[in-house]
């Protein structure tokens, strides 16, 4: 009998090697290789094959009118780009316990209420356990079916019998195929199962939701390795100490990326948050130094967040720069610009920057906010409460224009702000459109003069 053929696969990124390696040459992870069986001929047999059509001339291809299933949960629909596309494969990643199962069960309930046959397959929980959760969120539609199972070969016939229009697999790490010898949850299994499910979705027009866990260090075969296989990747984020959760589209073949939906975890499931700016600003204290509001863009939607800074004397040889919610490297650069171009000496100061509400912001428009709030804390002078600011800051202290200035101001106006410091370049497009005091600034020095 010949020895079964094995291969070593990095469990972090999926890199394959014929022998064990201590460090992955592709992603750099240490001790991430695991031995997995390769049974090429066997597993090819199990794969569902398409019937290949003839190549078609582009001018003869017709497009059917796009149909999308709207769930009625507008935060979810918008994140997906207007609803669920039939035949699409959607991956929802997130830390364990963040609320992925709850969210998807609610989505399935809404689809079922509209008469779509939906199936929730769980490899983690029994049907009774899903029902307990369903009771909390009052999901009891007669079109919502539950199934507990982990073997793909057992699940596929059930899918064919029931013919649901939307299916959830919770979670992809628990499902395995018999055609591969490796353990459930290993990267080989997860990828193989995903490819098989994708063929199934494309051939039958079912909308398929896959739930995947991401661990903090990405040690388990995580959704990262699947991102290129699926149509849409959503991440469900939030931290345990806040009840707010953000659903973020990081990849979307059928809509815009970077779109977000905001939810709040309640006793009876997730509730949509229609006006997140109001919530992120709700606990703002008045007239303290080191606080300013910045209108950020999250996808197509403006979001007002409060940037806080605390600057205090340091007892360390190398002062501390700690940030929550913004990139620490960005903050280091901006602190250097503020010292050199703004004449604010921060060399022996500890600096802490925080975005209130536990949200993460990753766009250059917050630069002006970081500079303003740091200067305010250093000088111990509050920035007036009705002021917002946004803009990108360059290394020579110049302030650059950012996109969507109008949308940002509109949101600020809606929430009652009356004064806005913007890049000088953006002012032309804003003049006369808003009943607000709009001040254009072109350098860090001008900004500090306008603020204090």
Residue ranges in contact with ligand TYD by CB under 6 A: 94, 96-102, 133, 136-137, 265, 267-269
Nearer to ligand TYD (CB atom), residue 234 or residue 370: 234
Q: Which is nearer to ligand TYD, 98 or 444 (CB)?
A: 98
Cβ neighbour number for residue 245 with a 10 Å cutoff: 24
Q: Which of 101, 372, 373, 426 binds Mg ion (CB under 5 A)?
A: 101
Residue 354 interacts with Mg ion (CB under 5 A): yes or no: no
Mark 48-87 with x for binding to Mg ion (rule: CB under 5 A) and - for no binding. ----------------------------------------
Chain position carrying tokens 């920057």: 353
Of residues 6 and 129, the one with the C-beta less far from ligand TYD: 129
Return the residue matching tokens 């205090």. 312
55 contact, one of Mg ion, ligand TYD, none, CB 5-8 Å limit per kind: none
Whether the CB-CB separation of 85 and 254 falls below 8 Å is answered with yes
Q: Kindly give the interhelix angle for 367-379 and 328-342, rounded to the nearest 10 degrees.
A: 60
Least Å from the CB of residue 134 to ligand TYD: 9
Q: Which residues pair with 168 in a beta bridge?
A: 120, 209
User: How many whole angstroms separate alpha carbon 26 and alpha carbon 288?
Assistant: 48
Task: Pick one of ligand TYD, Mg ion, none as the site partner of residue 141 (Cβ within 5 to 8 A by kind).
Answer: none
> Cβ closer to ligand TYD: 132 or 162?
132
| DSSP E strands, 394-449 | 399-400, 419-423, 437-441
Dihedral sign, Cα of residue 367, residue 418, residue 258, residue 427: negative
Partner whose binding site includes residue 136, from Mg ion, ligand TYD, none (CB under 5 to 8 Å by kind): ligand TYD
For the CB of residue 213, give the shortest distance to Mg ion in the complex, in Å.
8
Nearest residue to the partner ligand TYD, using Cβ:
101
Q: Which two tokens stand for residue 217?
A: 């260090």
Classify residue 121 as exposed, middle or buried by CB count within 10 Å of its CB (0-12, 13-18, 19+): buried
How many CA atoms, within 13 angstroms, populate the side-chain half-sphere of residue 14?
Answer: 16
Q: Where are the beta strands (DSSP E) in 41-164?
A: 89-94, 118-122, 144-148
Whose Cβ is closer to ligand TYD: residue 76's or residue 352's? Answer: 76
| Three-class secondary structure of residue 442 per DSSP | coil
- Least distance in Å: CB of 99 to ligand TYD? 4
Among ligand TYD, Mg ion, none, partner that 96 touches (CB below 5 to 8 angstroms by kind): ligand TYD
Least distance from Mg ion to the Cβ atom of residue 211, Å: 6
- Cβ nearer to ligand TYD, comparing 173 with 323: 173
Q: Which is nearer to ligand TYD, 268 or 428 (CB)?
A: 268
Which residues are 207's β-sheet partners?
A: 166
Residues of this chain that bind Mg ion (CB under 5 A): 101
């Amino acid at each position: 009998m010949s020895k079964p053929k094995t291969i070593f696969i990095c469990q972090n990124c999926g890199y394959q090697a014929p022998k064990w390696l201590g460090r992955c040459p592709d992603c750099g992870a240490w001790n991430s290789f695991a031995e997995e069986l390769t049974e090429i001929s066997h597993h090819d047999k199990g794969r569902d094959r398409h019937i290949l059509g003839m190549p078609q001339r582009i001018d003869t291809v017709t497009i059917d009118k796009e149909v999308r299933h709207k769930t009625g949960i507008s935060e979810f629909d918008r994140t997906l780009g207007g609803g669920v596309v039939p035949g699409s494969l959607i991956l929802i990643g997130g830390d364990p316990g963040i609320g992925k199962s709850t969210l998807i069960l609610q989505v399935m309930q809404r689809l079922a209420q509209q008469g779509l046959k939906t199936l929730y397959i769980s490899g983690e929980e029994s049907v009774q356990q899903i029902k307990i959760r369903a009771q909390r969120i009052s999901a009891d539609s007669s079109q919502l079916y539950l199934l507990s199972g982990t073997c793909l070969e057992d699940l596929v016939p059930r899918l064919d019998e029931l013919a649901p229009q939307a299916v959830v697999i919770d979670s992809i790490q628990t499902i395995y195929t018999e055609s591969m010898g490796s353990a459930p949850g290993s990267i080989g299994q997860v990828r193989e199962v995903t490819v098989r499910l994708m063929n199934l979705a494309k051939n039958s027009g079912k909308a398929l939701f896959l739930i995947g866990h991401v661990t903090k260090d990405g040690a388990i075969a995580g959704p990262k390795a699947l991102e290129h296989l699926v149509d849409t990747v959503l991440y469900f984020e939030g931290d345990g100490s806040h009840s707010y959760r953000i659903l973020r589209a990081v990849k979307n073949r059928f809509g815009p990326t970077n779109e977000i939906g905001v939810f709040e975890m309640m006793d009876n499931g997730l509730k949509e948050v229609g006006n997140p700016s109001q919530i992120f600003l709700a606990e703002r204290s008045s007239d303290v130094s080191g606080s300013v509001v910045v209108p950020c863009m999250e996808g197509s939607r403006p979001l007002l967040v409060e940037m806080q800074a605390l600057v205090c004397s340091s007892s360390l040889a190398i002062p501390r720069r700690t940030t929550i919610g913004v990139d620490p490297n960005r903050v280091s650069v901006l602190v250097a610009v503020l010292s050199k171009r703004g004449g604010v000496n921060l060399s022996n100061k500890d600096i802490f920057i925080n975005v209130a509400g536990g949200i993460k912001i990753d766009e250059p428009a917050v630069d002006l906010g970081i500079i303003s709030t740091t200067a305010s804390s250093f000088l111990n002078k509050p920035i007036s409460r009705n002021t917002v600011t946004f803009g990108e800051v360059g290394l020579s202290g110049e302030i650059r224009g950012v996109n969507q200035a109008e949308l940002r101001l509109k949101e600020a106006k809606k929430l009652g702000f009356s004064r806005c410091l913007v890049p000088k370049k953006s002012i032309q497009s804003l003049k006369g459109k808003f009943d607000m005091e709009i001040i254009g600034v072109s350098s860090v020095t001008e900004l500090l003069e306008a603020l204090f």
